Structure 1
């Protein structure tokens, strides 16, 4: 792997956005997967659940997210990531023994990134786009925000870089995590064997994550594995029918509205009269947080 990385860096430069390289390369497989899913659901008489306006919105959001993230990586993130790499404490070798352990560490970082994306409004302003879809199919995985590189998703993985894992390895493994997640955004697969449901983030577990039902809110943050949810008390089993979407649903297919509505609302809340600490708390408090004065005036 390191030989390939060295060749790519020599050919294209050191600051390659490896996550997007993998995701863009996998796009044909994603489209094939969606086509198979649609055929399966059509044969079951459930194709009416595929709303093509939503699907086109998902594809638009996914492509704009990829292009914007590539641009921000070239302008800033790539250099910032390599600053961490240059100040690493160790250099961890990449081999058949270390890669599985590094992947579990990447999954652990992803769990906390995903959990913060639900419980800290600054990060929610980006992640809300992914949850705003009211229908579940594989293209929902592509429903992403251009704000991700701005809000700082990549910071959650920098501890691994500081420990000595090459950034390319971290982001390639994270991309593999995201590739897996694309295929669990589906209603075409029911519950799997209990052992698989206990260890992995399955379609059933992930459907529950996307529910706005009270019992499903802020649960099942895992990417490939569900074990950290079980360990940290954020696991829930899919039982009642899932109602997809967000509590304050945005009924729009406009990519600008979907990308920026929560970000704008957060700063509007910060701008409301009150003490500086009360106002700034809207940035790091949970998305549902309201100041007493704000709640009383609405």
Structure 2
């Protein structure tokens, strides 16, 4: 029992989170190299694919630099909230960790859905969707504000009484799981798995620009959230990846800041303050429809 208590201590959980982050990146890079070999065998390897993949990992580096600056503040907000506003003090046990992961997965679903439904959130999330390719490297394609929005959706877990270090671990588990979903190598998995869990097939739908796939499959680990809240779509026809309008660049700096540069340009040229507000709070689909009606 004493050993179990030590293993479930905040210090050990923090070390475990770091270990998962570091080693899974190594595993992901190895899998990505396998994917490159597959592309070469199928004669699908191209200069654009290679440049896009390099850009993905550079955006990861830029994102890590930002997290290095704001990470202490991010963690501090969770710790302060837990110390002063928690309504319970949940013990750190295997069951509480599992429960936290499930709730963090639910929180991620709503965070992810939120990012697709307003201009300010989409400006950072569009970076992840902007690649015309779909492989492991795309999982590491980050926007500059990707660290910001999880705070608001996961902070209620600290108020509920989950130790912040367990919340951080749960966030890592949800994110790490999704890394493996970014692949075309895996087609469909056995039906029971497809019914409960998010899979590469389900996540390909989420990255699609096909009209029937738009704003579908927001799940992290469990696809049941999409089925519960009416946002599920099954992969049937071939997926086309990317965003509209396309970036058409593999310059990592342009990729990383593209969303907020485009948003700033739209705000600058907006005809009124009311329109500017709508650009921030309404969905990118609304903005696109407005642009189309104006140019028609």
TM normalised by structure 2 equals: 0.87
> What does residue range 230-269 of structure 1 map to in structure 2 within 5 Å?
230-269=227-266
Distance 1:25 1:131, change over 3 A: same
- Cα deviation for residue 289 of structure 1 reads 2.4
Within the candidate set 84, 94, 97, 2:95 is matched to 97
Structure 1 residues 254 and 2, CA gap change in structure 2 (3 angstroms): farther
- Residue 273 of structure 1 and its aligned partner are, at CA, apart by 5.5
* Residue 159 of structure 1, CA deviation: 0.7
Residue by residue over 1:29-53, the C-alpha shift from the partner in whole angstroms, topping out at 9 and shown as x without a partner, is 111222233345545x255278211
Determine the C-alpha separation between the residues in 2 that align with 1:132 and 1:81: 31
Residue 255 of structure 1 deviates from its aligned partner by 2.3
**Cα 1:269/1:196, change in 2 over 3 Å:** same
Q: How far is the alpha carbon of 1:292 from its aligned partner?
A: 9.7
- The one-character-per-residue Cα deviations of 1:190-216 (angstroms, maximum 9, x if unpaired) are 111111111111111111111111111
Matched residue SS, 1:154 = helix
In the alignment, what sits opposite 2:276?
Answer: 279
**Residue 169 to residue 191, structure 1, CA distance change in 2 (3 Å):** same
Q: Any conservation in 2 of the 1:118–1:124 contact (CA below 8 Å)?
A: yes
Q: CA separation in 2, counterparts of 1:266 and 1:17?
A: 38
Q: Matched residues in 2 for 1:131 and 1:208: separation?
A: 12
Q: Secondary structure at the residue paired with 1:289? A: helix
1:76-115 pair list within 5 angstroms: 76-86=73-83, 87-115=85-113
Cα RMSD of the aligned pairs, angstroms, is: 2.7
Aligned to 1:7: 11
Secondary structure at 1:79 match in 2? helix
In structure 1, runs of 5+ residues without a counterpart are: 10-15
- 1:38 equivalent in alignment to 2:36: yes
SS at structure 1 position matched to 2:71: helix
Deviations along 1:208-231, whole A, 9 cap, x unmatched?
A: 111111111111000111000001
Give, in whole Å, the separation in 2 of the partners of 1:219 and 1:293: 22
Does residue 195 of structure 2 align to residue 198 of structure 1?
A: yes
Q: 2: distance between equivalents of 1:267 and 1:192?
A: 42
Equivalent pairs, count: 289
Runs of 4+ in 1 over 6 A off after TM superposition: 16-21, 291-296
Greater Cα offset, 76-85 or 263-272: 263-272
Distance change (3 Å), C-alpha of 1:222 and 1:91: same
Aligned residue number for residue 12 of structure 1: none
The residue number in structure 2 matching 1:23 is: 21
> Alignment partner of 2:28: what SS?
helix
Residues 162, 122 of structure 1: CA spacing in aligned structure 2 closer, same or farther, 3 A cutoff? same
Report if aligned partners of 2:201, 2:235 keep a CA contact under 8 Å in 1: yes
Cα distance in 1 between the residues matched to 2:101 and 2:15 = 18
Evaluate the alpha carbon distance shift between residue 227 and residue 184 of structure 1 in structure 2; reply closer, same or farther with a 3 A threshold.
Answer: same
Secondary structure at the counterpart of residue 222 of structure 1: coil
1:164-206 Cα deviation digits (max 9, x unpaired): 1111111211111111111111011111111111111111111
How big is the shift at 1:239? 0.8
Distance 1:296 1:7, change over 3 A: closer
- Larger relative CO (CA 8 A, sep 6+): 1 or 2? 2
Could you tell me the TM-score, scaled by structure 1's length? 0.87
Distance 1:279 1:245 in 2: 25
Alignment correspondent of 2:209: 212
For 2:145, the equivalent position in structure 1 comes to: 147
